[in-house]
Amino acid sequence: MKKNKIIISDVTLRDGNHAVEHQINKDIIKNYCLEAEKTNVKIIEVGHGNGLGASSLSIGRSSITDEQALKTARKYLKKTKLSIHSIPGFSRIDDLKMAIDCGVDIFRIGTNSTEIDTLNSQIEFCQKNNLETWGVMMMAHLVYNEEKDYLKHIEYLVDLGIKTIIIMDSAGIFLPSDIEDIFTNIKKKFRINLGFHGHNNFGCAVWNSVAAYQNGANIIDASIKGFGAGAGNTQLDVLITVLERLKIKTDIKINSLYNLAKKFPVLLKKNKIEFKKPFSEPKNIMSANYGLFSGFASKVDYFSEKFKLDDIEAFRSIGKKRLVAGQEDLIFNILLNLKNKKYF
């Protein structure tokens, strides 16, 4: 069977914002876009780490507004499509209207897989305005079970008219065998475009991405040097090299990609932002093992130390609550209660 050519969606300027407390600014966006265009990447996603409208005191304030970020990217992206990540609750219809005015090409409307019915209004708005609209299933492991609940959620999105769906391993918990199972089952039942967004907590992001492609995905999210939440995303420069060694063709110009990987830490340093190379520390491994959103690891680690809790017990307690992105403020309360139970 002939496989579709891979479309790479570069999420550095959105998911990477998690790694620098959402401080990516206009200068970084400008210079990144100029260099990334040379690589021939097809899509660049821009915004706050949690997407459109998410800048806040509890989640993290961006250094610039969504409008400033999108207008800057649009100015310097001449041939590359500009995309946004929108989670209803963080974002509103007015935010989508602003994104339209800024020239966004692709509207990725997503939420945690257990809350998929919250996407209706934004998807309907995008479709009425003839926008390229993708459905995004975040925290997909929450519906990966023997009953194959994820297929019901895929069907829900398909019934809304969605033709492109991204499966997000937001916790970095999946193994290549899980990805093979998920994508094979989806492809058996639905004729849609499929994508995969990986996190590297178990060191599997690149091979999970390869497994996704080999089992029907034609869109892969990745970031330069793995820059992203927690232990980072699928590392774009490694992924393309691996694909070439597997004789899987992409349109990416690999020498330009390597140059981008070398220049990116310098660009951050110029803007007084420290580049911390993502890797799986014990907190990231525990975070994935208990099914937490990748961005939670540092907060759980911080409060478990502050409250003098056993870190494994802390991660296990948060995991039992099945918290999802956007519920960061509950981490403090859960671990404070755990501390009080310990001493009283």
Choose, from 18, 22, 48, 85, the residue flagged as catalytic: 18
Which are the contacts of 147, defined by CB distance < 8 A and separation ≥ 6? Answer: none
Determine contact, residues 139/171, Cβ cutoff 8 Å: yes
* DSSP code at position 163: -
Angstrom distance (rounded) from CA 281 to CA 250: 32
Instruction: Provide the token pair at 290.
Output: 């208990």
Long-range contacts of 327-334 (CB under 8 A, 24+ apart): 328/58, 328/59, 328/295, 328/296, 328/299, 329/58, 331/296, 331/299, 331/300, 331/303, 332/303
What burial class does residue 337 get, using C-beta atoms within 10 Å of its C-beta: 0-12 exposed, 13-18 middle, 19+ buried?
exposed
Give how far Cα 110 sits from Cα of 20, 114, 121, 143, 149, Å: 22, 11, 12, 15, 17
Angstrom distance (rounded) from CA 119 to CA 138: 12
- Of the candidates 236, 231, 203, 201, the one whose C-alpha atom is nearest the C-alpha of residue 221 is 236
For 123-142, give the DSSP string: HHHHHHTT-EEEEEEESGGG
* DSSP code at position 16: G
Angstrom distance (rounded) from CA 21 to CA 37: 25
Query: Does residue 199 have an active-site annotation?
Result: no
What are the residue numbers of the active site? 18
